Amino acid sequence: MENNAIRFACNGCGICCKGRLIPLTLAETRQWLQRGHEVAVILEAFDESTWDSQPHQFTHSAQRAVEVTSGEARIRVVAVLAGNALEQCRNLGDDGRCGIYEERPLVCRIYPMEINPFIALDPGNKICPPEVWEEGDILFTDRVVDPLLADQIERSRQADRDDAHAKIALCEAMGLNVAAWKGNAMAVYLPDRAQLLEALDRHNCGIAAPAGPGWKVRVDAPALRHQLHQKGVALDDQLSTDYIFHRL
């Protein structure tokens, strides 16, 4: 077991607080907005017919998604709410320290572990400086060693599932109804902070997403477009500029 052990000692460099979107739970999103910071909304759609990964990965994705109507088809949509730290996190102080350390989001608490259980811990794929893997306590053997960290990881994954319907209902209430196709691209909305906070307060956690035919999918790969069109999925042909279409 010890031979496979991965040691880790965060040096507080703050690299993980820059150049990224920070996935937030619904409760963390409200706090983030109330602090005056922006939140991006990322929408991805998928269905079983085009799924090319393992079936248990589909089950995982389905648990954090909501089945909705798109044209004549039923598809699943997952919404990710993410703090905008594309330049750097607004909570990162000039001293390089987190200004909300005691209240920082779960995703910040668990890094370099991930919310996604299918991303294996590989130091070579992490943005942490190489030296932080050379000492410190054992972080991981065949599982996470620290029970507190293991609990935080599970809480982040549970929130992902628990918040799924409320996040989709929030998107529908705000008219954010075009998703990209998972694995092909991401549709990234940057809604007005005050409007998102107001919508979040109006459409409180726990409500079910209303059934409706309003969802569309933006796809630019010809073969996939054809496949989804054949299934009756409503495609966004307006090439809306309401969102950033980020090809993968």
Beta-bridge partner residues of 39 = 83
86 binds ligand SF4 (CB under 6 A): no
13 binds ligand SF4 (CB under 6 A): yes
Q: How many residues bind ligand SF4 (CB under 6 A)?
A: 23
Among 92, 180, 186, 209, the residue binding ligand SF4 under the rule CB under 6 A is 92
Q: How far is the CB of 210 from ligand SF4 (least distance, A)?
A: 33
Of the ranges 105-113, 146-154, 168-176, 225-233, which one interacts with ligand SF4 (CB under 6 A)?
A: 105-113
Helices 193-202 + 26-34 axis angle, to 10: 130
Binding mask 118-157 for ligand SF4 (x = CB under 6 A): ---------xx---x-------------------------
6 binds ligand SF4 (CB under 6 A): no
Among 100, 149, 173, 205, the residue binding ligand SF4 under the rule CB under 6 A is 100
Nearer to ligand SF4, 22 or 176 (CB): 22
Among 37, 38, 69, 111, the residue binding ligand SF4 under the rule CB under 6 A is 111
Q: How far is the CB of 13 from ligand SF4 (least distance, A)?
A: 4
5 binds ligand SF4 (CB under 6 A): no
DSSP code string of the chain? -GGG-EEE------GGGEEEEEEE-HHHHHHHHHTT--EEEEEEEE-GGG--S-HHHHHHHHHTSEEEEETTEEEEEEEEEEEEEEEE-TTB-TTSSBTTGGG--HHHHHTTS-SSTTS---GGGS-S-GGGGSSSEEEESSSB--HHHHHHHHHHHHHHHHTHHHHHHHHHHHT--EEEETTTEEEEE---HHHHHHHHHHS-TTPPPPP-SB-EEE---HHHHHHHHHHTPPB-TT--SSSEEEE-
Of the ranges 73-81, 86-94, 146-154, 220-228, which one interacts with ligand SF4 (CB under 6 A)?
A: 86-94
Tell me which residues touch ligand SF4 (CB under 6 A).
10-17, 22, 85, 89, 91-92, 98, 100, 104-105, 108, 111-112, 127-128, 132
